[in-house]
């Protein structure tokens, strides 16, 4: 059976060119980048080059890039590191209600330790409420954090405006750019943020490697204690192949960004257009203006059915998508993002995220729409909710 992968927001396939760049660093150049002999120096050279390249590609200085194990660690570090290092100034942070769990659960942990957190609403398209954000600012606010683009509904947040507001009050800004980095030409200097999280596996790089950009001069506590790696700010032996692959993946992504985005968006637009026209009782979640949505993202709620049923049925047909419930974590709670944009629990439960990638084809899109139509029809025929409404006609 042919398999079709439409879950690029979860992770992306490794680019073959990235794999080639990485491969000497597993068995040939295997030294510890912190060792003082030639084996170590060879590894360190590769790490330095990768750091320089990543910094240049995002408008940072090399000394502002700190390698981590990925987006989750970068988010944890940004929040905990700033809060701990700014205890003298205050203990209040502001984040959006639709942050990734890496931010939200860190914020909840900090609340248990007495840190005060304001969670800012978003509108029905997922855009942060800037007025509420302004009103939430206190003299004790040390950090505002808002994701650059949402992982579920693809909405791109107005980070420049958030930076403007924060700077008027001398408050630091962090953005989780894990989803944005592969789709937007992120430049930290132009954006004006103080901290930015990103992760290689979301743009055809390896898993388990990411970075936190920390603007020079920002006081930060460590998250991971240990040796003197990463200018003594993050302990742990450097993942040399990962770092090399990360830099190459970012280079390729930036080089081909416009062309790839246009192609991926054309697949997504075809999908959205066909689903909207051919399947009744559906709602596209996220930004209506496609320019303010990740090019890969189409997030649909299908009324009267459970997202899990759609997901498992499509999976049996070889199609990989993601549902709006945190099923993978063993809970069937509806997504906090979908509730935050005002969906009822029932509609949130019937939500599926389709996220496209550059290796997908038009034929795949058409096959998925055809399969989806049949799946939705079959599931609705079985749905007591749907039958009760007697709306089983032209599905």
Sign of the torsion angle spanned by Cα atoms 140, 198, 362, 367: negative
In the complex, minimum distance from the CB of residue 38 to ligand PLP, in angstroms, rounded to a whole number: 32
Q: Give the three-state DSSP class for 211.
A: strand
- Decide: helix, strand or coil at residue 307: helix
Which residue, 136 or 146, is less far from ligand PLP as judged by CB? 146
Q: How far is the CB of 370 from ligand PLP (least distance, A)?
A: 29
Smallest distance from ligand PLP to CB 189, Å = 22
**302 and 282 in contact (C-beta within 8 Å)?**
yes
Nearer to ligand PLP, 321 or 379 (CB): 321
Of 75 and 230, nearer to ligand PLP (C-beta) is: 75
Where b means 16+ CB within 10 Å and e means fewer, 179-203 reads bbbbbbebebeebbbbbbbbbbbbb
CB of 325 to ligand PLP, least distance (A): 15
Binding site residues, ligand PLP, CB under 6 A = 70-72, 75, 100, 102, 147, 151, 176, 178-179, 199, 210
C-beta nearest to ligand PLP: residue: 71
- DSSP for 338-380 reads HHHTT--HHHHHTEEEEE--TT--HHHHHHHHHHHHHHHHHHH
Residue 15 or 303 with smaller CB distance to ligand PLP = 15
Smallest gap from residue 8 Cβ to ligand PLP (A): 11
Query: Closer CB to ligand PLP, residue 102 or residue 136?
Result: 102
Residue located via tokens 């980048």: 33
Whether 135 contacts 128, CB under 8 Å: no
Catalytic residues: 327
CB 192 within 8 A of CB 237: no
Q: CA 145, CA 167: separation in Å to the nearest integer?
A: 13
């Amino acid at each position: 059976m042919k398999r079709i992968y439409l879950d690029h927001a979860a992770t992306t396939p490794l680019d073959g060119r990235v794999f080639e760049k990485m491969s000497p660093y597993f068995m040939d150049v295997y030294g510890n980048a912190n060792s003082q002999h030639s084996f170590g120096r060879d590894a360190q050279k590769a790490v330095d080059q990768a750091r320089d390249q990543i910094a240049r590609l995002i408008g940072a200085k090399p000394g502002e890039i700190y390698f981590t194990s990925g987006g989750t660690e970068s988010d944890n570090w940004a929040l905990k590191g700033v809060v701990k290092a700014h205890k003298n100034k205050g203990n209040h942070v502001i984040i959006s209600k639709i942050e990734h769990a890496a931010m939200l659960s860190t914020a909840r942990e900090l609340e248990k330790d007495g840190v005060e957190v304001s969670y800012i609403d978003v509108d029905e398209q997922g855009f942060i409420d800037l007025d509420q954000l302004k009103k939430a600012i206190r003299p004790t606010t040390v950090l505002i954090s808002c994701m650059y683009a949402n992982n579920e509904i693809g909405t791109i947040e107005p980070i420049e405006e958030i930076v403007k507001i924060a700077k008027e009050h001398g408050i630091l800004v962090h953005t989780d750019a894990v989803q944005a980095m592969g789709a937007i030409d992120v430049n930290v200097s132009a954006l004006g943020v103080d901290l930015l999280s990103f992760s290689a596996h979301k743009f055809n790089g390896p898993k388990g490697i990411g970075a936190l950009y920390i603007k020079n001069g920002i006081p930060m506590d460590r998250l991971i204690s240990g040796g003197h790696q990463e200018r003594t700010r993050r302990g742990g032996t450097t993942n040399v192949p990962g770092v090399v692959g990360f830099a190459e993946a970012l280079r390729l992504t930036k080089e081909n960004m416009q062309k790839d985005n246009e192609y991926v968006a054309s697949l997504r637009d075809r999908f959205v257009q066909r689903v909207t026209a051919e399947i009744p009782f559906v709602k596209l979640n996220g930004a209506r203006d496609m320019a303010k949505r990740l090019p890969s993202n189409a997030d649909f709620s299908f009324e009267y059915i459970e997202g899990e049923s759609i997901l498992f049925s499509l999976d049996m047909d070889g199609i990989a998508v993601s549902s709006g419930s945190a099923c993978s974590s063993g809970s069937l709670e509806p997504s906090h993002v979908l509730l935050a944009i005002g969906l009822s629990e029932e509609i949130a439960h019937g939500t599926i995220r389709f996220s496209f990638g550059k290796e997908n084809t038009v034929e795949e899109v058409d096959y998925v729409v055809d399969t989806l139509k049949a799946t939705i029809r079959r599931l609705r025929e079985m749905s007591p909710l749907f039958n009760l409404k007697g709306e089983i006609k032209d599905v």
